[in-house]
């Protein structure tokens, strides 16, 4: 699949990025925009992210997937994922993580985390994981 084809395929996709560290948030946003994603929303606050996710499903325009930091002060990425799954939203999640306990990894698996990206990450690592999830989302659209 050529890079131009991917960019055109991604232009109608909406992605939410959640991370309390502004430099990580901006780095991931720039990678996604460079990949051709049309709508990239960012927030440093998981509770805001939950509201954005709920609003998207309510108005019939949900995000295609979420990239979320695991460890945040207000609410963890796992807590956010749990809240989303409790509401039965079918929304792929990619977790960014610098450190995870075995129990947390098991909980994340139970909640169906779709992919992990370890911090610190490279641009290529983000691109590969995102491309895999985006391809799956696009193929599910038919």
CATH of the domain at 109: 3.40.50.2300
Taking Cα atoms as reference points, which of 74, 60, 73, 55 lies closest to residue 16?
55
Domain limits for position 33: 19-123
pLDDT per position as a tens digit, 3-29: 665 668 899 999 999 999 999 999 999
Entry pTM: 0.91
1: pLDDT strictly greater than 70: no
Residue labelled with tokens 């992990």: 116
Structural domain contains residue 69: yes
Structural domain contains residue 133: no
Give yes or no for a contact between 65 and 134, defined as CB atoms under 8 angstroms apart.
yes
Structural domain contains residue 7: no
Average per-residue pLDDT in the chain? 89
Number of H helices, E strands in the chain: 6, 5
Structural domain contains residue 37: yes
**Number of independent structural domains in the chain:** 1
Q: What is the pLDDT of residue 110?
A: 77
pLDDT per position as a tens digit, 54-85: 999 988 889 999 999 999 988 999 899 999 98
Q: What is the pLDDT of residue 131?
A: 96
């Amino acid at each position: 699949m050529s890079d131009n084809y991917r960019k055109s395929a991604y232009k109608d996709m909406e992605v939410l990025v959640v991370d309390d560290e502004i430099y990580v948030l901006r780095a991931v946003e720039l990678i996604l925009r460079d990949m051709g994603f049309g709508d990239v929303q960012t927030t440093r606050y998981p509770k805001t992210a939950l509201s954005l996710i709920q609003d998207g499903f309510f108005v019939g325009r949900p995000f295609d997937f979420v990239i979320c930091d695991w460890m945040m002060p207000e609410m963890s990425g796992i807590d956010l994922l749990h809240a989303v799954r409790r509401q039965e939203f079918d929304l792929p999640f990619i977790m960014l993580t610098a450190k995870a306990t075995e129990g947390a990894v098991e909980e994340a698996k139970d909640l169906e985390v779709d992919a992990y990206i370890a911090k610190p990450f490279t641009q290529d690592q983000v691109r590969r994981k995102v491309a895999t999830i985006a391809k799956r989302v696009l193929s599910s659209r038919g």
